[in-house]
Amino acid sequence: MTSKRRKVIILLVSLALVPLIALVILFSVWWRSRIPSFSHVAEHRISDTVVLTAGLVNSHPFLAEYDKYLVVRTDDSVSKFYAGPDPGGFSDIILYEENGSIITITEFEYERCVIDATSGTLSITPFKPNDDLPAVYIGRFGFDDSRTWRFIPAQPGEYRKPW
């Protein structure tokens, strides 16, 4: 094969790859911008009037990668919190109780979501791995052994750290 012919083939292959790369980029932008619907959802009743829902939205068309959301519902309001990405579907949302509030900490994220168990108000505060954890672990949202996304209550004497 001559040098000129080899250059032409390389140029043609390169020109064919440009639209393919553009198509992949457009697809990923479209995938991220679509209206999300939960592919997995689980609920935990915090009190008589407050329900906490943890939902996963597929963030990749082929892999088990998710975006995690917490939804707090009361009789009067609905609040939504983005709890971070979950590459591979292996990070849990851990729930603790402290001073009448439910505190959620998502593994590998550096925010905590504090939910008032009476009013359902939600606030976000920074969280660092060396911060003190609340004393009472109540359970976690995660996949169980049968790969079902659900609330898994704490066993007597169990305490779980986010990392």
Q: What is the pLDDT of residues 52-80, one digit of tens each?
A: 999 998 888 888 888 888 889 998 888 88
User: Quick one: pLDDT at residue 102?
Assistant: 82
The residue segments making up the domain with residue 145 are: 40-153
Does residue 163 fall inside a structural domain?
no
Query: Both 14 and 55 in a single domain?
Result: no
Does residue 159 fall inside a structural domain?
no
Closest by CA position to 122, among listed 107, 109, 139, 103:
103
Are the beta carbons of 100 and 116 closer than 8 angstroms? yes
pTM, entire model: 0.72
Buried-exposed string 91-108: b where 16+ CB fall within 10 A, e elsewhere: bbbbbbbeeebbbbbbbe
How far is 68 from 81, CA to CA, in rounded Å?
A: 9
Query: Both 101 and 133 in a single domain?
Result: yes
Query: Both 105 and 63 in a single domain?
Result: yes
Query: Both 129 and 60 in a single domain?
Result: yes
Number of domains into which the chain is organized: 2
Query: Both 21 and 46 in a single domain?
Result: no
Query: Both 17 and 78 in a single domain?
Result: no
Average pLDDT over residues 32-38: 64
Does residue 88 fall inside a structural domain?
yes
In the chain, the percentage of residues whose pLDDT exceeds 90 is 16
Query: Both 78 and 120 in a single domain?
Result: yes
Token output for 160: 């779980």
